[in-house]
Amino acid sequence: MSDVNTDYQIVAFCCQYCAYAAADLAGGLRLQYPPNVKIIQIPCTGKMDVLYALQAFEAGADAVMVAGCMPGDCHFLEGNLNAMRRVERVKDLLRQIGLEAERIKMFHISSSMASQFVSATEEMLRTVEKLGPNPLRMNGKASRKETHVRRVS
Amino acid sequence: MIIAEQKPFEEVKSLVGEAQKILVVGCGTCVTVCFAGGAREAAILAASLRMASKLDGDPKDVTDVTVQRQCEWEYLDTIAEQVNEADLILSLGCGIGVQAIAEHFPKAWVVPGLNTSFLGLPVEQGVWVERCAACGDCILGLTAGICPIARCSKSLLNGPCGGSQDGHCEVNEDIPCAWQLIYDRLKSLDKLELLSEIRPPKNWRTSRDGGPRKIVRPDLRLCEEE
């Protein structure tokens, strides 16, 4: 984990009943996950708003992960299913804006799935490493080219 | 209520053009309820425009504000200062809201962010359907509360036509035949005799055929100053 580029910022909106507890358990089990992940606890992924994700990207986040309960296990019955549809909406908006839709992804992680939480964060980091930093953080298109050159070199 | 939907993002971008300081104005009434142009949609569109313009190498100053109703001068007065400071107003109101802004702020350049679609209602979460054509001469009292003007594809007054198939319209099988609905409902209410009378051609002068419409209520008008 020592070679992780800590410049990358991944915002994780985690449901307090599952993924947030899984992250907590990962800590308890001393499982290491990328330090790039900044967790925001939400009462249910049903609280996840399209605007939250857009604000994260506008503020410079390289990726956003939304982690909720397993399908059928939502504490509020279907908050996680609503979140899935909103994540799809954000993907559409990102494409229109000019960002890659892969920068946001929904995960289903129960409170006992600490290792799966770690895998999810590592997957998002790999995605970000492949896509490069959020060009909005680097002042738009010109910087996106520079970023590309820098990554290739 | 008025149902609308947002224009494609590319069209919005082209309408915005070269303007640098943009004010997205949401409306807190009909278009909020149909999730097309309320405070949240205004914030999402403003954020999207800020990000897209930055990625295009021409970052724009995009802010958003939502008024309770774009179609009343009193509410528009509350945003006069912001309107005057902006190069362009992107209205997320219905067509009435856009025109109200244009009329109230003669120097403002206003463009629409929505396509105003129809008068209707949400029949379930996320699904809106047309229910009224604003024809100006309501006949719902004769048709069991089901409007053949808005819901029959041909706006027939004496239906159904031969295109009614198993309760569906020939235009599209997803459209229920309005006259089948009217028949079924009149039958369930034991009022089928209403169908025995042939309706004469409708007087369309109360609709758009009479030109732009206007209602004046002398009892509600304010006294003119002497």
Determine the pLDDT at residue A66: 98
**Chain A within 8 Å of B48 (Cβ-Cβ)?**
yes
CA distance B33 to B122: 9
pTM exceeds cut of 0.95:
no
Chain A residues touching B9 at Cβ < 8 A: 93, 96-97
Lowest mean pLDDT among A129-138, B61-70, B77-86, B115-124: A129-138
Mean pLDDT of B10-36: 97
Determine the pLDDT at residue A3: 65
- Is the model's pLDDT at B75 over the cut of 60? yes
CATH code of the domain in which A43 resides: 3.40.50
Residue A66 maps to a domain: yes
Residue A68 C-alpha, separation from nearest chain B C-alpha, in angstroms: 22
Whether the CB-CB separation of B24 and B42 falls below 8 Å is answered with yes
ipTM: 0.87
Q: Which two tokens stand for residue B16?
A: 């915005």
Residue A21 maps to a domain: yes
Lowest mean pLDDT among A5-14, A34-43, B9-18, B108-117: A5-14
Determine the pLDDT at residue A138: 73
Whether the CB-CB separation of A151 and A126 falls below 8 Å is answered with no
pLDDT tens-digit profile of B95-127?
A: 999 999 999 999 999 999 999 999 999 999 999
**Chain B residue with Cα closest to A92:** B9
Residue A111 maps to a domain: yes
CA distance A129 to A82: 29
Residue A137 maps to a domain: yes
Total Cβ atoms within 10 A of residue A77 = 12
Interchain contact, A51 vs B40, CB within 8 Å: yes
On average, the pLDDT of chain A sits at 90
Residue A4 maps to a domain: no
3-class state of residue B179 by DSSP: helix
pLDDT tens-digit profile of A70-102?
A: 999 999 999 999 999 999 999 999 999 999 999
Residues 54-73 of B with CB under 8 A from A: 54-57, 59
On average, the pLDDT of chain B sits at 95
Pairwise pLDDT comparison (B225 vs B178), residue with the higher score = B178
Domain of A79 in residue numbering reads as 10-152
Total Cβ atoms within 10 A of residue B199 = 14
What percent of chain A stands above pLDDT 70?
A: 88
Residue A17 maps to a domain: yes
pLDDT tens-digit profile of B147-204?
A: 999 999 999 999 999 999 999 999 999 999 999 999 999 999 999 999 999 999 999 9
Instruction: Find the radius of gyration of the CA atoms of chain A.
Output: 15
The CATH superfamily label for domain B2-118 reads Response regulator (3.40.50.2300)
CB pairs A-B closer than 8 Å: 50
Residue A135 maps to a domain: yes
Give bridge partners of residue B170 from the DSSP assignment: none
Residue A64 C-alpha, separation from nearest chain B C-alpha, in angstroms: 16
CATH 3.40.50.2300 in chain B: give the residue spans. Answer: 2-118
3-class state of residue A144 by DSSP: helix
Q: What is the DSSP string of B68-130?
A: S-TTSHHHHHTTHHHHHH-SEEEE-S-HHHHHHHHHH-TT--EEESEEEEEEEEEEETTEEEE
Interchain contact, A54 vs B52, CB within 8 Å: no
Angle at B4 between CA A54 and CA B206, to 5 degrees: 165
Give the count of domains, chain A: 1
Q: Quick one: CA dihedral B90, B93, B98, B103, positive or negative?
A: negative
